[in-house]
A and B are shown apart, each in its own frame.
Chain A
Amino acid sequence: MDIIDKKKLARIIIALVLFLVAEIIVHLGLTDGQYGLWIQFGLFLVPYLIAGYDVLARAGRGIVHGQIFDENFLMSVATIGAFALVFFPDAEPHMAEGAAVMLFYQVGELFQDYAVGKSRKSIADMMDIAPEFANVMKDGELVQVDPYDVAINDEIVIKPGERVPLDGIIVSGKSQLDTAALTGESVPRVVEEGAEVISGCVNMTGVIHVRVEKPYDQSTVQRILELVEEASERKARTENFITRFARYYTPVVVGMALILAIVPPLLFGQPWSSCVQSALVFLVVSCPCALVISVPLSFFGGIGAASKRGILIKGSSYLETLGSVDTVVFDKTGTLTNGSFNVVAVHAEHDVDPDHLLSYAAHAEAYSDHPIAVSVKESYSGIIDQAQIDHVEERSGQGVSAQINSHTVLVGNDKLMRAEQVPFHNCELVGTVLHIALDGAYIGHIVIADVLKDDAQAAIAGLRNAGVKKTVMLSGDREEVAIAVADRLGIDEVHAQLLPAEKVTCVEQLLSAQNEREKLAFVGDGINDAPVLMRADIGIAMGAMGSDAAIEAADIVLMDDKPSNIATAISIARKTMRIVWQNIIFAIGVKVVIMILALPFIGIATMWLAVFGDVGVACLAILNAMRALRVKG
């Protein structure tokens, strides 16, 4: 479908030309004769009918079906009224205005169609992440099928340049995936055998064979599309307000127009012509189009812009609430920190080589699967030579002792050191400290901690910039660890050593401490925190790529695990709400002002102004609403 209706455009141009010709004829005084007024009437009637016959036809049709308050009806009455003023002997002729109002109404409509069509298209482009086909291995042959027809455990082949059609696990091959359409992240993700791939990503470099894990209608891409499309069903309060407003606004204004046209002339002897003129102005501005189009468009634009950044908002009501969030509560692990342990420091005693320290620790922990042991081994860049290890002994709750190269090595916490009577000293860093002793002598310690995400600091600063007043961190971790993290990030309030159930209580306390206009958002990693996600005004789940539970429980889902996206989401929400309110105030304001100016005893507002108050305002409001679609950066 073409965005612009070419036939209509041509019609309006012809009408416009004829209208100008008529104006010139009138101004040259060629119609000054006896029947001049009627010639003028005819001259303007032609472009009027060419431009507006469809509006008149639809208005007639509406009357037949009892739909009297639509815009076609209002425009028809207003313009016919303008022409009819010729029958009032004391009135100036208004045929030119009648024709012009219809012309400009149509130009405005055309423009409005164009703007709406354009934003529909950009939304469609934004959601153009659905795969068109899947290559399935069937009896050793590759067949191209509809993604709907692929079953779980089928093997599909994804070539470079193709979109991943279904969620699955790579069985062979290696490639880079472009996840930008899902997460907004431009750095490609490297994947190889055993890795999970998510539908909607684009395969960039190599051919991969994937075993399908989920049917198409439950795959990530399909869920995202459903979410975004159904988002408009959960309407925001503002949206409902506008719908209700529109339902009453038009009949009320039409009623006022009627009263205005009849009452003053009958009761106060005002001239009919000026009162009817005021009434006509009322009719023209009585259409609520500027609002009923631009408000939902802004919300949809905001949701679309967010989804482009990998932020899924489940409804415009959530977008609205998110815009007024002033407290953000984080569950530390998985949101601000990676949730995995890493070696953050290796502190060797002054005469010891740190590499040796790490090497002893890695060898001693070689057989352990404990997360701490794993992180030590990961940070050790050398090769673990198992031939050197002997007599490994796990000391429950303390650590491990081992013979390495016939040296006795102890790796563990302060309890182990005390038990073995090794003098040691503590570290100034916060985290889990592993002390290491060699043949009974202390040689240093390794600090292991949950690492802050790269953008955690930027995330908190971003929230502040976006206008969030208070940040709170909840953690099940030890108090000193939690406080250290909070201090580094600049978080206002910390609650540590919480059990999962206590997190709900904590959020409830925070909720009851704030007044009704203040909103609280809770950010979790979607694992184990569903109750808190539901309890908060807004539940935000992070790192949700492929996690169904998180998508289910949260109101807002961040596809990747970058906490800085929360500030982005809040900024998008605030921008959207700003645009919505700008439009509401602008549209209602202009219309009210025009109505006041049109009152008979003021009588400044003309039909020209009224037509601006209708289609002009609608176009400006739509243009403003389209800003919500734009994604920064």
Chain B
Amino acid sequence: MKRMYKLEGRLCGNCAAKIEDKVAKIDGVNKASVNFMTMKFTLDTADEKHADILEESKKIFDVIEPTCTIKA
């Protein structure tokens, strides 16, 4: 399942790359992309795990760039 989420707050290119890296390493993620220019987070995962992975991604955002949040 591939879905796109809007991001809010401050996000720099460095943090975006770090977050992208970490999310991509979660089990069940096919592809993750954090686009700091369009402020969009694209998450492509196995269907049944999507909600869990989204929650986990939110935590990763919180750690690396607490001022940036995923608008669900």
Please report A residues at the B interface, Cβ cutoff 8 Å. Answer: 1, 58, 61, 65, 67, 70-71, 113, 116, 119-120, 123-124, 229-230, 232-233, 243, 246, 287-289, 292-293, 295-297, 300
Question: When A58-B66, A70-B15 are in contact, do A113 and B36 touch as well, CB less than 8 Å?
Answer: no
Closest residue of B by beta carbon distance from A65: B63
Report whether B14 and A123 are in contact in the complex, using a CB–CB cutoff of 8 Å: no
Interface size on B, residues (CB 8 A): 19
Report whether A292 and B66 are in contact in the complex, using a CB–CB cutoff of 8 Å: no
Report whether B39 and A246 are in contact in the complex, using a CB–CB cutoff of 8 Å: no
Report whether B66 and A67 are in contact in the complex, using a CB–CB cutoff of 8 Å: no
Contacts of B63 in A (CB 8 A): 65, 67
Contacts of A124 in B (CB 8 A): 38
Contacts of A296 in B (CB 8 A): 13, 36-37
Number of A-B contacts (CB under 8 A): 56
**Residue from A61, A243, A293 within 8 A of B12 (CB atoms):** A293
Contacts of B12 in A (CB 8 A): 116, 289, 292-293
Q: How far is the CB of A69 from chain B (nearest CB, A)?
A: 9
- Asked if B26 lies at the interface with its beta carbon under 8 angstroms from chain A, I say no
A-B pairs with beta carbons under 8 Å apart, 30 shown:
A1-B8, A61-B66, A65-B63, A67-B64, A70-B64, A116-B36, A119-B37, A123-B37, A123-B38, A229-B35, A229-B38, A230-B42, A232-B33, A232-B38, A233-B31, A233-B33, A233-B35, A233-B42, A243-B17, A246-B14, A288-B14, A289-B14, A293-B12, A293-B13, A293-B36, A295-B13, A296-B13, A297-B13, A297-B37, A300-B37
- Asked if B50 lies at the interface with its beta carbon under 8 angstroms from chain A, I say no
Contacts of B10 in A (CB 8 A): 113
Question: When A61-B66, A65-B63 are in contact, do A292 and B37 touch as well, CB less than 8 Å?
Answer: no
- Asked if B40 lies at the interface with its beta carbon under 8 angstroms from chain A, I say yes
Contacts of A233 in B (CB 8 A): 31, 33, 35, 42
Name B's interface SS: mixed
Q: How far is the CA of A232 from the CA of B66 in the complex (A)?
A: 24
Q: How far is the CA of A113 from the CA of B64 in the complex (A)?
A: 18
Closest residue of A by beta carbon distance from B31: A233
Contacts of A61 in B (CB 8 A): 66
Q: How far is the CA of A300 from the CA of B36 in the complex (A)?
A: 10
The 4 closest A-B pairs by CB, nearest first: A292-B13, A293-B13, A292-B14, A65-B63
Q: How far is the CA of A292 from the CA of B18 in the complex (A)?
A: 11
Q: How far is the CB of A248 from chain B (nearest CB, A)?
A: 13
Closest residue of A by beta carbon distance from B38: A229
Q: How far is the CA of A229 from the CA of B37 in the complex (A)?
A: 9
Q: How far is the CA of A487 from the CA of B13 in the complex (A)?
A: 49
Q: How far is the CA of A329 from the CA of B23 in the complex (A)?
A: 42
**Residue from B8, B31, B39, B66 within 8 A of A120 (CB atoms):** B39
Contacts of A119 in B (CB 8 A): 37
Q: How far is the CA of A71 from the CA of B66 in the complex (A)?
A: 14
Q: How far is the CB of B21 from chain A (nearest CB, A)?
A: 8
Contacts of B36 in A (CB 8 A): 116, 293, 296
Instruction: Taking A70-B15, A233-B35, A246-B17 as given, write out 4 further A-B residue pairs in contact, using a Cβ cutoff of 8 Å, ordered by the A residue number.
Output: A58-B66, A70-B64, A232-B33, A293-B36
Q: How far is the CB of B53 from chain A (nearest CB, A)?
A: 18
Q: How far is the CA of A589 from the CA of B63 in the complex (A)?
A: 32
Contacts of B64 in A (CB 8 A): 67, 70
Contacts of B39 in A (CB 8 A): 120
Question: When A58-B66, A61-B66 are in contact, do A289 and B37 touch as well, CB less than 8 Å?
Answer: no
Contacts of B35 in A (CB 8 A): 229, 232-233
Report whether B38 and A292 are in contact in the complex, using a CB–CB cutoff of 8 Å: no
Closest residue of A by beta carbon distance from B10: A113
Q: How far is the CB of B2 from chain A (nearest CB, A)?
A: 11
Q: How far is the CB of B22 from chain A (nearest CB, A)?
A: 10
Q: How far is the CA of A65 from the CA of B39 in the complex (A)?
A: 24
Q: How far is the CA of A120 from the CA of B36 in the complex (A)?
A: 9
